[in-house]
Structure 1
Amino acid sequence: MFELDARLRGDTIEVGDFTLSRLLLMNDARYPWFILVPRREDVSELFQLDEKDQQQLWRETTFLAEVLRDTFGADKMNVATLGNVVAQLHMHVIVRKKNDDAWPAPVWGKHAAQPYEASRTEELLARLKLVLPSSFRFVSDRS
């Protein structure tokens, strides 16, 4: 049974689910920083997913990156799996702008996180509702 890593759970805001992956928002208002976590048990590396899931993760990642680029006017999209701190397989999809607080360095470890205010989170989620497919299940839509 899939269980989200405690560190991811503590550092993020749950957005909802694609076909394979749980979509999380990193709770750092400096950057539109999203994380996709395949809902599979005991997976820490891409190659541990079967071929179908690998392809689905890549589809979700590239779709999300394109939507975020267009929605937030990115200068560059950063997409990465690292797993040095959190072993559970997760894909970072981060909107970068040349004037952001960390540019051109990576966003992680650069500054302490600046948590979202509730109103800003709601605004961001409302923007996503306009651009994500109807098959996406937002947390707020779950019954």
Structure 2
Amino acid sequence: MDCVFCREEGGVVLWQDDAMRVVLVDEHDYPGLCRVIWNAHIAEFSDLPAAERDRLMRTVYAVERAQRSVMQPVKVNLASLGNQVPHVHWHVIPRFSNDPHFPQPIWAPRQRSVSEALLSARRAQATLLGEAVRREIPGALA
């Protein structure tokens, strides 16, 4: 199978262990968007044993806490779709009332434009996510 998450990291690695990795995705309109990617190629979340599903979700929650702490979004969206990439992964998406699609999902039609200055400021905040993620995960996995 030709799977992008088996071939590539999927973004800038902020944290990883033998089971999974947290990556910061280069998504122009969504600085701070992260993915939590299971390392082994598994298509469906329910194919993971219960303990591994729990561990993965605790990592997703830790990334959400890191985003809330660093970026202070009005909402965080969690999504596990996998229609285009059938490899277990979660999107952790900081949302702002003035982002391009709010209040719709980020895959919906654009609602507004966002200035490059604002996106640049959010990108600067996102550079702090690596440290925040590494701080949050050990407690989440304990």
Q: TM-score, normalised by structure 1?
A: 0.71
Q: Map 1:107-118; keep pairs closer than 5 Å.
A: 107-108=106-107, 110=109
Q: Map 1:73-84; keep pairs closer than 5 Å.
A: 73-84=72-83
Aligned match of 1:36: 36
Aligned length: 126
1:74-133: CA deviations, max 9, x gaps?
A: 10000010111111111000000001011111112646xxxxxxx98x955641243133
RMSD between aligned alpha carbons? 3.3
Give the Cα separation in 2 of the matches to 1:39 and 1:11.
9
Contact preservation (8 Å) 2:22, 2:34: yes
Contact preservation (8 Å) 2:66, 2:136: no
User: Residues 99 and 9 of structure 1: is their aligned pair in 2 closer, same or farther, counting only changes over 3 Å?
Assistant: farther
Give the Cα separation in 1 of the matches to 2:6 and 2:28.
16
Identity %: 23
Contact preservation (8 Å) 1:15, 1:125: no
Give secondary structure in 1 for the equivalent of 2:99: coil
Q: Map 1:24-63; keep pairs closer than 5 Å.
A: 24-31=23-30, 32-41=32-41, 43-63=42-62
1:16-75: CA deviations, max 9, x gaps?
A: 43343212222213212111111123x111111111211110110001101101210110
Structure 2: segments with no counterpart, 5+ residues? 111-119, 138-142
Q: TM-score, normalised by structure 2?
A: 0.72
Letter in 2 for 1:18: Q
Give the Cα separation in 1 of the matches to 2:136 and 2:68.
20
Contact preservation (8 Å) 1:11, 1:27: no
Contact preservation (8 Å) 1:18, 1:60: no
Contact preservation (8 Å) 2:6, 2:39: no
Aligned match of 1:6: 4
Aligned match of 1:87: 86
In the TM superposition, what is the alpha-carbon distance from 1:14 to its structure 2 partner? 2.5
Give secondary structure in 1 for the equivalent of 2:56: helix
Structure 1: segments with no counterpart, 5+ residues? 112-118, 137-143
User: Residues 84 and 129 of structure 1: is their aligned pair in 2 closer, same or farther, counting only changes over 3 Å?
Assistant: closer
Letter in 2 for 1:15: V
